[in-house]
Structure 1
């Protein structure tokens, strides 16, 4: 029994490492970590709560890596991060008001749209482009909408933040990736604080997976900064498409 438990723990840590690596570059780490927790015997609520715990560590690690390299100034994002945390918590609180079955039908279409945008839009690079909305407008419209979605459902949050920064804020792909991480960290933290009181979090498992998340996110951020949009764009397309297919499979299964 002990040997089986050890093997399961190692597999979950490995899944967290892979999730942290992918999430630090293109988002979508939950596509790996959440099913792994379900396979380990967690209920959907337990898997969601534990995923938020371990994912928070990965997002924080990626944020620090991008900040240390000068791609983002966390102090400039404090206002947006506070909004993201509040609406992430609100999203977790009202999760029961929106049937997951409805989201599983709608979100694949949206995710395929995100994938198509990054795959087919010409000129997407690490260079900045025209800003379409002011930062204050972005903070009170795009950020709360995506953070609330992260709190009550989650898949694709990083991809949606990325698209917002590229399409509306005018950021290059690498800069958008760097700025996504702190907002994703904040929404994760906000929703995690709600789940703490639910009693559904597997703390031991989540903290063990956090070790894998930290290692994966650190490596992923370094790779993304070295390669830039040449890696981020195709990985984002693959991850968004993979999440869409998984949600479709769940909705139709």
Structure 2
């Protein structure tokens, strides 16, 4: 592809900043960055590869910010991050043979279900509750599974991690958000390594957007830590609904094709 013009670089930086802000609180940053790169004329495969590079900066920045305030111990979370990275790498490597249409069909409805869960369940707060799964099983089963999904497809990964931490691990909303970011970083690393080996990462674009992601995540994570569940819950609900609508609005979505819309 040809070099991008200055105004497109500015556009991509701004999109990455906004994505970093939203993603550090509720996930769903890819809903902004992937369409932005496609609008800028970047081919789909290079968009996916470059998105993994710039996402590393956002998830890494948010992880550092939450760790500095004591909401997550990065060292203790390393085993789960390694499993998320393994899942992300396997997902990216197997993306060509996984039935993508199945994921596209199911994802909007999963996201709507997550939005309804967080929006309608009254007792979800920043207070930890009793866990339904041991940390060992959570890390061994749930984490690599979501990491694999991130490598194969990606949108909504942060929301799925959030749902797992709240419903299975019993974490409060803010603690779940803090731990989600580092796992998302791990799955991004796994996917990025595979895409980089395939040579589909645009480094100049990815690093520029990474700078925007890093700055946006710093601002967003501080905003989340200041306001806690009262801002994370509604933003998570809005993000899930918006992502579901965006996916269903695509004329190429299998559901629309099946319905002849």
Please give the TM-score of this superposition, normalised by the length of structure 2: 0.94
Superposed CA RMSD in Å reads 1.4
Contact (CA 8 Å) 1:105, 1:247: kept in 2 or not? no
Which residues in structure 2 correspond to 1:14-29 (within 5 Å)?
14-29=14-29
Return the offset for 1:245.
Answer: 1.0
String of CA shifts for 1:211-251, please: whole Å, max 9, x gaps: 10010000000000000000000000011111111111221
The alpha-carbon deviation at position 103 of structure 1 amounts to 1.4
1:234 maps to 234
Cα distance in 2 for partners of 1:67, 1:190 equals 22
Q: 5+ unaligned residues in a row in structure 1: which ranges?
A: none
Give the match's secondary structure for 1:74: coil
Deviation at 1:122, TM superposition (A): 1.3
C-alpha distance in structure 1 between counterparts of 2:111 and 2:102, whole Å:
15
Structure 1 runs of 4+ aligned residues shifted over 4 Å read none
Q: What corresponds to 2:164 in structure 1? A: 164
Superposition map of 1:55-74 within 5 A: 55-74=55-74
**Residue equivalent to 2:186:** 186
Instruction: Work out the number of aligned pairs and report it.
Output: 252
Which residue is 1:128 aligned to? 128
Q: CA separation in 2, counterparts of 1:8 and 1:193?
A: 26
CA distance in structure 1 between the partners assigned to 2:149 and 2:235 by the alignment: 22
Identify the residue that residue 99 of structure 1 maps to in structure 2.
Answer: 99
The match for 1:52 is 52
Shift of 1:175: 0.2
Distance 1:155 1:163 in 2: 14
1:126 is paired with a residue of what secondary structure?
coil
- The structure with more helix, counted as a fraction of residues: 1
| Partner residue, 1:209 | 209
Partner of residue 119, structure 2 = 119
- Counterpart contact for 1:115–1:237, Cα < 8 Å: yes
Q: Write the distance in 1 (CA, Å) between the matches of 2:103 and 2:134.
A: 29
Q: Name the CA distance, whole Å, in 1 between partners of 2:43 and 2:216.
A: 25
* Residue of structure 1 in register with 2:154 after alignment: 154
Once the two structures are TM-superposed, the CA of residue 102 in structure 1 deviates from its matched residue by 2.2
Give me the TM-score of the superposition, normalised by structure 1: 0.97
What SS is found at the alignment partner of 1:127? coil
- Kindly state the Cα deviation for residue 42 of structure 1 after the two structures are TM-superposed: 1.3
CA displacement at 1:99 relative to structure 2: 3.1
1:154 match: secondary structure: coil
1: distance between equivalents of 2:244 and 2:141?
Answer: 24
What is the distance in 1 between the residues matched to 2:184 and 2:39? 25
* Counterpart-to-counterpart distance in 2, 1:197 and 1:92: 11
List gaps (5 residues or longer) in structure 2: none
Q: Find the residue that maps to 2:77 and give its secondary structure.
A: helix
Deviation track 1:94-141 (CA, whole Å, cap 9, x = no partner) reads 001123222111101111111110001111110011111110010011
Q: Which residue of 1 aligns with 2:246?
A: 246
Corresponding residue for 2:80? 80
